[in-house]
Chains A and B, each alone.
Chain A
């Protein structure tokens, strides 16, 4: 099978995602489309039309809540299988093999799908030159939009959709959590002030994460929540400070490659899964570490 792969991404977005999509193509053409708006149902319909226009039967999206909804509809419409939360993929003829971590990052699992497939990617870090993406031309994109309109005009059985009522958009500051290479997360031990967490995240060029506890305390917005019902992360480096490591949080971060924990309690569960366990006051240690990192990185 040498049909192209369709990558759904913003131009100038994550290089890691492009690398993963290129591996999914496995020598076949890699096409890209930057389409994000509308309801998940409507977006899926547009992406399916784009895929059909360019003859793609493998579609790659970066894993997120919204992407999971979109992926479900695309898989339904294309009668495709789904590979969710894969860190790496490789193509073996007609079969796409994905590697993922399950059960809170404690198991390595490989899954495969033969034929059409939708990939929800949580790409591992890649090095090397970024592969070329053949972005859909304006003509191709408009043709796909026309296909969607024509199908709707013919009264195709497309099911009912939700009605958006209102949206309170997040102010996204700094690095996006789901795809960050570095995440610095804080918990109750920060006693209401996340300045030290932000300082170290900034110094390392990483994203800020939080436990469910402190999100419920409203010390930080829900978009920062790492855990079973928040964002599941698999960064190169995770730093957890002033948090004990409740199951909810650990399920969301145990896939991290390297774990550093800072806690007053040497017996806290997070300290047991850490590569480096630092016993001490989280706020003071993070503030000082941020200063030292800035010195070393020269910024």
Chain B
């Protein structure tokens, strides 16, 4: 029941590595970490979610808020390394069509 969030700033690219479980308890931690990302025009961001073992609507809410903020400044958010389970969560909520999502290329269930 823990979460780890690491934000790395590279030139014109912000990379976030999220690992652990995202739920009602840990989502606020993720929100705070993502809030430290300086919003600017044309910001490119990538969130690596390959180590996220659980997520529910509380996590979706935080990701969507971040997505909206970045988009408002003509930036881009890409989610990478999603397990089929995680991808499904985005798909059934309709977010899969709106967001740029790259699934885990290992394929199959993890």
Q: Do A and B bind each other?
A: no
A-binding residues in B (CB < 8 A)? none
B-binding residues in A (CB < 8 A)? none
